[in-house]
Structure 1
Amino acid sequence: MRMLVSVSCPIEPFNTMVKNGTAGEVIGRVVDEIKPESIYFTEQEGNRGAVMVVDVPDASYIPSIAEPWFLNFEAVCEFRIAMTMGDLMKSNLADQAQKWGEVHMN
């Protein structure tokens, strides 16, 4: 299952890690361990952050993705299931439309 993971790192302890020279090394270890399909570093609500695409076999892998960020950076992690175009095409939207298209909420 492919997931989109957003990571937001608060100013501390990250500033301290930047100042003492450990931030880059720890990020490198975390990324090497998680092995995301892609990762982009950006700001998240005014904090340092990252957005990763990861492929996980099942939900039990989520702690191995989140804990390195939680424990090293006191980060907030958000997980969203993500589909490729191929995944969307396999979902058979036409069947869903036929099944649910006539249902109206009052």
Structure 2
Amino acid sequence: MRMMLKVSLPVDKGNAAIKDGSLVTKIQSILADLKPEAAYFTEFDGKRTGLIFFDMTDTSEIPAVAEPWFLAFDASVEIKAVMNRDDLAKSRPGIERAVESFG
């Protein structure tokens, strides 16, 4: 299942990792294990934030996805199931059933 991981680093931990030169190395190492489809980095609510899209086959993988961010950066982590354009197109029968039943 396609997932979106939103990771927000506390400013003080991000600053410390930039100053000691470990920020990029740690992020690259975490991403190498995760093997994401895509990863984007920006700012949300004044924090360094990553939006990372990856495949998860089982919910038992959640600790392996989240713990590196917690341990490396004391990061806030959110994991959401997401759809791409093709997934949305495949969802049409379910949407139509919902409209028939509840619309």
Whether the TM-score (by the shorter chain) exceeds 0.5 is yes
- Residue 102 of structure 2 is matched in structure 1 by 100
SS in structure 1 opposite 2:4? strand
- Residue 84 of structure 1 is matched in structure 2 by 84
The Cα shift of 1:69 comes to 0.6
| Amino acid paired to 1:81 | A
Larger Rg: 1
The Cα shift of 1:21 comes to 1.1
Q: List per-residue Cα deviations over 1:35-94 (Å, max 9, x = no partner).
A: 110000101210111001111002111111111111000000111110123322333121
Q: How far apart, in 2, do the equivalents of 1:8 and 1:69 lie?
A: 9
SS in structure 1 opposite 2:32? helix
- Residue 51 of structure 1 is matched in structure 2 by 51
SS in structure 2 opposite 1:25? helix
Percent identity between the two aligned chains: 39
8 Å CA contact retained: 1:39, 1:50: yes
| Number of residue pairs the alignment of both structures matches | 101
Q: How far apart, in 1, do the equivalents of 2:29 and 2:100 lie?
A: 48
- Residue 37 of structure 2 is matched in structure 1 by 37
Q: How far apart, in 2, do the equivalents of 1:72 and 1:16 lie?
A: 11
Using the size of structure 1 for normalisation, the TM-score is 0.88
8 Å CA contact retained: 1:2, 1:83: yes
CA-based RMSD: 1.2
Q: How far apart, in 2, do the equivalents of 1:89 and 1:21 lie?
A: 44
Q: How far apart, in 2, do the equivalents of 1:32 and 1:40 lie?
A: 14
Q: Which runs of 5+ in 2 are unaligned?
A: none
Using the size of structure 2 for normalisation, the TM-score is 0.90
